[in-house]
Amino acid sequence: MFAYVVRRLATVLTTMLAASLIVFAVLQIVPGDPARLMLGINATQDAVDNLREQLNLDDPLHVRYLTWLVDMVRGDFGNSYTYSVPVRELVAERIIVSVPLALLALTLSTIVAIPVGIFTASRHGTATDTATMAATQFGIAIPNFWFALLLVYVFAITLRWVPAGGFPGWHEGLWPALQSLLLPAIALALPQAAILSRITRSALLETLHEDYIRTARAKGLPARRVLWHHALRNAMIPVLTIMGLQFAFLLAGTIIIENVFYLPGLGRLVFQAIQQLDLIVVQSVVTLLVAAVIAVNFLVDLAYAWADPRLRSRTR
């Protein structure tokens, strides 16, 4: 297990390094002088020169990349030009919105999808099964931001149960904060739940065809026990993979939903920084998000290797 972890960790670090290089390189191709872009066309040459110096723009590329990378590793993500605060502070402010939102959406999707998946698998071939699967096809096809607009219309504008957007902050208490995260989380959870319930169903149906299930049935175990004790545990592996991927997606992929609800999350931070051409924020936050996605996938892999020793011996 130890050798496996070390080997996987080496790949993870190389991937992160390559990803940071890509982000850095992409932002170098932005046409024009970044300092001039940030300050606008009316800025004096002096101001531009000052900013160039402050951003070390006159250093050679590889020096700038390495300085930035070393600073990132040490926890210094640079200073936002627009807000004149350390990027680290901005990230800290936003992460307490994005992570709870992702967790809430994942929880909602899981508590709906897994029971639905198990239920339909146990009623395989019946009309209920067909109808539920048709419903999940719709769930996958619905753009989450459109669903979000409908939710706002019904629950915020018409019924006035929850706010239509914005985030009061956690200091206002747990309930008001959760209330403003509820609709975005439901909107994010819908397509995820549709996908997850289909995966659960098909994973379960696949395991139900395995030899050991036939054995369990043959020795006279009740169907319920076979389903819950034998099939479900083995079917959970693909389900957990998808959940890992979905969590990684939710961390960074909520950019549009955050825009619908004016939520101050990480996605919106990047979105605004791009519009204000606050390039250091874009560079650092995108790199952090990519690193987070890689880290989550790594943890999911470790969880499997721990659960299923056969996977450790695989070369990749």
Positions in the binding site for other proteins (CB under 8 A): 11, 14-15, 18-19, 22, 26-27, 30, 124, 133, 137-138, 140-143, 145-146, 149-150, 152-153, 157, 198, 201-202, 205-206, 248-249, 251-253, 255-256, 259-260, 267, 270-271, 274-275, 282, 286, 289-290, 293-294, 297
Report which DSSP code applies to 31.
Answer: S
Q: How far apart are the first and last CA of the chain?
A: 14
- Token look-up 């997606």 returns 249
Phi, psi (degrees; rounded to nearest 5) at 86: -60, 140
Helices 279-307 and 266-275 pack at an angle, to 10 degrees, of 150
In angstroms, how far is CA 241 from the centroid of its own chain? 13
DSSP 5-28: HHHHHHHHHHHHHHHHHHHHHHHH
Nearer to other proteins, 6 or 174 (CB): 6
User: Which of 34, 66, 57, 35 has its CA nearest to residue 48?
Assistant: 35
Nearer to other proteins, 234 or 259 (CB): 259
Nearer to other proteins, 57 or 178 (CB): 57
In whole angstroms, what is the distance from residue 185 CA to residue 243 CA?
15
Query: Minimum distance from CB of 46 to other proteins (Å)?
Result: 27
Furthest-apart CA atoms within the chain: distance in Å = 85
Query: Minimum distance from CB of 224 to other proteins (Å)?
Result: 21
Nearer to other proteins, 151 or 185 (CB): 151
Query: Minimum distance from CB of 252 to other proteins (Å)?
Result: 3
Nearer to other proteins, 123 or 176 (CB): 123
Query: Minimum distance from CB of 195 to other proteins (Å)?
Result: 11
Query: Minimum distance from CB of 220 to other proteins (Å)?
Result: 26
User: Which of 132, 110, 124 has its CA nearest to residue 223?
Assistant: 124
Nearer to other proteins, 167 or 298 (CB): 298
Q: Give the Cβ contact number of residue 271 at 10 Å.
A: 16
SS3 state at 125: coil
Tokens (6 digits) for 162:
């929850």
Phi, psi (degrees; rounded to nearest 5) at 151: -60, -45
Query: Minimum distance from CB of 132 to other proteins (Å)?
Result: 12
Nearer to other proteins, 5 or 178 (CB): 5
Query: Minimum distance from CB of 158 to other proteins (Å)?
Result: 8
